Chain A
Amino acid sequence: MGTSRTTRIALTIYGIIIIAFLYLPLVSVAFASVSKARYLTFPIKRYSTGWFSEALASTEVRMLALTSLKIAVIVTILSMIIGFFGALAFARYQWRYRSLFQKLVLLPIFFPQTVLGLALLMWFNSLGIIPSWKTAIVAHLVWIAPIATLIVAIRAYSFDPALEEAARDMGASTPVILREITLPLLMPGIVAAGLFSFLLSWGNFPLSLFTTGADSTLPEWLYAKMVSGYSPLVPTLGILSVIGSFLLVIAALAGLAIYRALRPQK
């Protein structure tokens, strides 16, 4: 059935409004980062990329970014591993307590992150562990690994169990099946889970606030600067962070496309 002209116009307007609602705040941050003035006012009188140069040259910013990056990379790797095996238990195999596992593993996603952060801080304290960027990894994992599991599980649900059975029937052992069949077929889900994990960890503030101790991540620093001592470095770092995330997504999608294109010709 065709769409009427009025409906098409209404849908276009609706789409523009949604896009504007999502991206306009980001645009204002982008303007703030290229305004020479300390505080953003419209119209912008003088544009400058000075804040970007200052941000990239700052040792403090570099240290903060490094801490955030360390946490995000380790959380990503661990989430991908936990997500892969968790998804097999969640969606691929039938076992006695699967239904209970499915409910419990998703529960942390629905906890308020501040409550989760506080609970983890109290737990670390009771165990005598001094909070640092390392404890933040554990905190991030508690929240992010279930999300990664869910993402890989969605892929695993569409997986035909006969593929593994066929491989076994032709002589493949369990590790070979995992390497040759299961892992490659779940790879798009694992990559997606890795991307989400990285971005969620990189931008996480509530869990980091409670669990990094003396260490500090980029989002924590941005928040601190917003509360006291605002500088245009705040929107500049925000924009750099968004650009980095965007490039990461593009790189991952390109990597996946190349992987798919090359694999059959190997």
Chain B
Amino acid sequence: MPANPILRLKSVRKTFGHFTALHGIDLAIEEGEFFTIVGPSGSGKSTIIRLLVGMDELTSGEIWLRDKRIDQIPANLRPTCMVFQSLALFPHMSVGQNIEFPLKLRKIDPAKRKARAIELLQLLHLPASYYDKRVTECSGGERQRVALARALAFDPEILFFDEPLSALDYRLRKSLEKELKDLHARTGKTFVYITHSLEEALVMSDRIAIMKSGRFEQISDADEIYSKPVSRFVAEFMGEVNLFQVTASDGRIEGAGLIAAPGDATSTMAERITAARDATLMIRPEYVQFLADGQVADFEISGTLNGIYALGSRIHYEVKTGSGQILTVEKLREDRYDGSQGDTVRLGWSAASAHVIEDTPFEEKVA
């Protein structure tokens, strides 16, 4: 939890009729942080951002901006600004007029407005000649930049983003992700970003919050969320993963055909699995090795090579275990495994690269 948060949500709850979109969530965001809320459709992330900018009212709870409660303040009086999913550029105005709009509302002198608009165009790598261009004549990437420039012209305390890159093609999206991260570093502003794209979250964020059914499943930095997810949902949401339902007794881990070598590393894991109500062993595909004859590992499992898929620089192997589970192994092209479909293979990985998910049943979490 940040020591001096710029934004705090306390027990924020939102209902629509009988449907509860947010279940009393708490959140604190550090000043200058790039914070991303990621989750599947219907998880409640758009509801949060609409509450934060004042487009919707809370059912209960509080929102604080530094030491000021803002949830009762109308949207047009809040010192925050949002870049909309549709960008919401005013089609009847030029690029310059769009950027100047928040400055015009503050009755700033037209000459100063124009100077600031041109300054922002340059900051966003757009030529000054775009000032008089119609927004309807701009490309997708240029429109993104104009929307960003307009939001920055507002000079908000926090800049919110509601999936602004979702409609762009892959290459442009990747390029703008980097630009956004760079812009965040240059401006030093607090960015709160909403997306359903894991990649966007991983590339840009200082911290990520994973949402599911109106609750935060996990809030942490990208590395921790990826390597130490707190639930099966987070593990699966963060990309390809191999999960084993396991139990432990007398320091030995069992389940799904796994063979765990006795030792300090596995016995520590066994203790955690014994203590958990419902434990899952997680290993990411890139940590799984094809074991040669005589080679040993902390965890081993045998199976049949079921499929080989070339994904550019990486290759995915699908291995079907004796229990029928399909495991994924990922190798870089230069480290490819020279095997054929139908081969019997032994897979292994170290205890250090595995992670135990102590899944508490969902009903208990709610309680």
Residues of A whose CB lies within 8 Å of any CB of B are 160, 162-163, 165-173, 176, 180-181, 184-185, 263-266
Contact = CB atoms under 8 A, between A and B. Distances in A.
B276 interface: no
B90 A181 contact: yes
Contacts of A184: 92
Contact of A166 (B88, B97, B132): B88
Interface in B65-113: 75-77, 80-82, 84-86, 88, 90-94, 97, 101-102, 105-106
B154 interface: yes
Contact of A168 (B75, B150, B154): B75
Contacts of B228: none
B253 to A, nearest CB: 52
B134 interface: yes
Given A176-B105, A265-B94, A163 B76 contact: no
Give the secondary structure class of A's interface.
helix
Contacts of B97: 264, 266
B138 interface: no
B88 A162 contact: yes
A185 B106 contact: no
Nearest to A163: B88
Given A165-B75, A263-B93, 15 more contacts: A160-B86, A160-B88, A162-B84, A165-B55, A165-B88, A166-B84, A166-B90, A168-B55, A169-B80, A170-B105, A171-B102, A171-B105, A264-B97, A264-B132, A265-B132
B243 interface: no
Contacts of B53: 169
B105 A264 contact: no
Given A176-B105, A264-B97, A264-B132, A170 B92 contact: no
Which of B75, B150, B154 has most A Cβ within 10 Å?
B75
B77 A171 contact: yes
A261 to B, nearest CB: 11
**Max chain B C-beta neighbours (<10 A), residue from A185, A264, A265:** A264
Interface of B: 53-55, 75-77, 80-82, 84-86, 88, 90-94, 97, 101-102, 105-106, 132, 134, 150, 154
Contacts of B91: 185
Considering the complex of A and B, which 10 residue pairs feature the smallest CB-CB distances, nearest first? A166-B88, A264-B94, A162-B88, A170-B102, A171-B105, A184-B92, A162-B84, A168-B76, A162-B86, A168-B75
Q: Name, among A162, A165, A170, A173, the residue most crowded by chain B CB atoms within 10 Å (CB to CB).
A: A170
Given A165-B88, A184-B92, A264-B132, A171 B55 contact: no
17 contacts: A160-B86, A162-B85, A163-B90, A165-B88, A166-B90, A167-B90, A167-B101, A169-B76, A169-B80, A170-B105, A171-B105, A176-B105, A184-B92, A185-B92, A264-B92, A264-B97, A265-B94
B93 A170 contact: no
A115 B140 CA distance: 54
Nearest to B83: A166
Contacts of A172: 76, 105
A264 B84 CA distance: 22
A38 B88 CA distance: 63
A180 B101 CA distance: 10
Contacts of A264: 92-94, 97, 132, 134
A166 B154 contact: no
Contact of B92 (A162, A169, A171, A263): A263
B295 to A, nearest CB: 58
Contacts of A166: 82, 84, 88, 90
A170 B80 CA distance: 8
B166 to A, nearest CB: 14
B84 A165 contact: yes
B88 A173 contact: no
Contacts of B106: 171
A173 to B, nearest CB: 6
Nearest to B74: A168
Nearest to B82: A169
A171 B94 contact: no
Given A185-B91, A185-B92, A265-B132, A169 B81 contact: yes
Nearest to A263: B92
A234 B150 CA distance: 60
B312 to A, nearest CB: 37
A265 B105 CA distance: 18
A200 to B, nearest CB: 28
A180 B98 CA distance: 11
A176 B102 CA distance: 12
Nearest to A174: B76
A266 B94 CA distance: 9
Contacts of A263: 92-93
Nearest to B77: A171
Contacts of A168: 55, 75-76
Given A176-B105, A264-B93, A171 B88 contact: no
A265 B131 CA distance: 10
A171 B86 contact: no
A168 B54 CA distance: 10
